[in-house]
Amino acid sequence: MAAEDQAPRAPANPDKTKKRKKPKKDKWGQPIAAAAEEPAAQQVHETPEEPAADAEEAGERSESYECGKVVASGMPYTTTEEEIRGLFDKFGPIRSLQLSRFPDSGNFRGLAFVTFESDEVAMKSLELDGHKMGNRFMRVERCRMTASSKRQKKSEHQSDPEKPEGCLSAYVGNLSWNITEKDLRDFFKSSRVASIRFAVDKRTGDSRGFCHVDFEDDESLEKAVGMNQSELRGRPVKIAYAIINRA
């Protein structure tokens, strides 16, 4: 009997020999109930994938482009404005064409911005992407909207000033820096222009990119305002009634 009493005994419950996990506590030192932990765990392991895809699509939609405008790059430096127009005008009427030039020499740098009358026409012109010009391949893509163009678009949506009583003057903006009075008189050749007043920087004497044009009669003014967003030297010109009439 003594020998039997000395025989080693197996543990009654092997699971009780395992080390118990310490209960989780919150930041105040109180134990967290197991029932409260389960939903959190489920939330971690059951994260849906669809919202991520939706967020990606939302990011693509937030990418903003200028309506009807494309940018063409990679062209030979010898390309002329006529050649560029010949390539793009087969897709539809061109509203404006801006050639980027080197500031020191004024020579074409192989980059141009083409604005069409509609976004549909602009999308068709993307067919020219990869078109070979000389020994180079041109790249054509939609023109992304810059911060300045977003501000301009916002201002365009704002209502133009109403015509003041007795007004015979028009505000003309978005002009090229080297625009001349002759250019403007030719531009408004269907109207009777009385005078042109350029806005200049008082310190440097340089043009500020806009002017006021005084007309001889109301009919001439109305014709001029009707030319709003018409192209002058590759730029769509902003034309509206002048707030202050000095005529």
Question: What class, spelled out in words, does domain 65-150 have in CATH?
Answer: alpha beta
Calpha distance 44→226 (Å, rounded): 62
Could you read off the pLDDT of 153-195 as tens digits, one per residue? 555 445 566 888 889 999 999 998 889 999 999 999 999 999 9
Q: Range with the lowest mean pLDDT among 55-69, 73-87, 115-129, 197-211? A: 55-69
Average pLDDT, the chain: 78
152 pLDDT above the threshold of 70:
no
Could you read off the pLDDT of 24-54 as tens digits, one per residue? 666 566 666 544 444 443 443 444 444 444 4
| Cβ atoms 165, 234 nearer than 8 A | no
Q: Which two tokens stand for residue 117?
A: 């009358």
| 79 bridge partner residues | none
Calpha distance 118→184 (Å, rounded): 26
pLDDT of amino acid 79: 95
pLDDT of amino acid 8: 55
Is pLDDT larger for residue 53 or for residue 204?
204
pLDDT of amino acid 202: 82
**According to CATH, where is 3.30.70.330 located in the chain?**
65-150, 159-241
Helix segments in the chain, DSSP class H: 2-6, 34-45, 50-62, 81-88, 119-124, 147-157, 181-187, 218-225
pLDDT of amino acid 53: 41
Architecture of the domain whose range is 159-241: 2-Layer Sandwich (3.30)
Q: What predicted TM-score, i.e. pTM, was given to this entire model?
A: 0.41
Could you read off the pLDDT of 55-73 as tens digits, one per residue? 444 444 435 888 899 999 9
5 pLDDT above the threshold of 60:
no
> What does each C-alpha distance from 84 to 89, 162, 179, 188 come to in angstroms?
9, 39, 23, 27
How close are the terminal C-alpha atoms of the chain, in Å?
131
